[in-house]
Structure 1
């Protein structure tokens, strides 16, 4: 049998191997992921999510930043792709913060849900606290609730951990106004409100 007639080795065939994503497809996948994340995502995590090399993701991110900033011939967008704490996330541009806050407040129901009230209480007593810490205390996912509280102006992003990229949240003066108090020191002691006086809270933060 000649070399021209040697049967192909099934183990080395490439017919079933998926074609690598084009730069445009990588950018589209990134946009889809970035629209739903609540915490800044490092390039490695984004690369794993969109099944593309880190170098390709870095190039796509740089392209999206330029596109959103109006540097590619299109209009400057009302949002931006920003690197914070070693990760990437979409943010409303600062000049539109008041507009977005007003819109969200107008759409929000007049009363907070029980889940929102419980989450707000955890943040008030534990602040500054991360979304993950709140979720651990409440034993449920709090992503949508945190977005609601942010939209209502009751909490705000205090700072971002430079090592983990985790955002820490704290309450705002709007909470004090809604509660009719002058400072957080006027909040009731937490211990009597808990069955064992410390469920989910460190002793040093009990009031």
Structure 2
């Protein structure tokens, strides 16, 4: 017996009628299956990219709407439990790398900011703007690099007495805070930087402060430095150090505000006025740790 011929024909009815008229009674007609519209693997890739884009859009919306930096835990609330939040944030950061607005990590959190090279476009002068004096800048730098540090230790490093108003101004900005009390006679206050300090200066961690090589490269240090000159490695551990006591553990139940009673506000003392070299200052100007408390 001769096997039937297999003929592929289209689904068109006219073609089927034409084949029947040709007398192919033994032919077995198979309708050709429609060709796939796209490669299955490409469709899967497209779907995964679509899902990824949706997740990035969610993160983008939360970060854009927030006036404050957000941490990874808060951002993960809009995603699935199995999503890698750090990988997604890195992807979003890469997407914004060359734009006018960039995604940066500050104080361990994430925030959209104007690209650093375009910040001049948004600068504006405000009437109530207050510039920090040289003394305030020096004091802030000492606290940032040497924290926790007492007022007497700041004076020893600077070589001049520190006006109470200088510390007041820095605390008003929210850049420094009293950490605790030194385990020493008089139990003087210790100072450290805050999260607001990191956010303002665009630092993820206090260890991101420039080191000796960075300061030299920026021209902030001259070449006539002492042979053993070094820049301390800063730390801003929130927990008290072994040589620190809690603010309230001062022997007589003072709270934080009472502990600062020896630092009166002085609107005109924020500048360098009133500061004298320690060697020329009256004996009560260079406070000892006991007097500072």
Q: TM-score, normalised by structure 1?
A: 0.41
**Relative contact order: is structure 1 or structure 2 higher (C-alpha 8 Å, sep ≥ 6)?**
2
User: Which structure's CA Rg is the greater one?
Assistant: 2
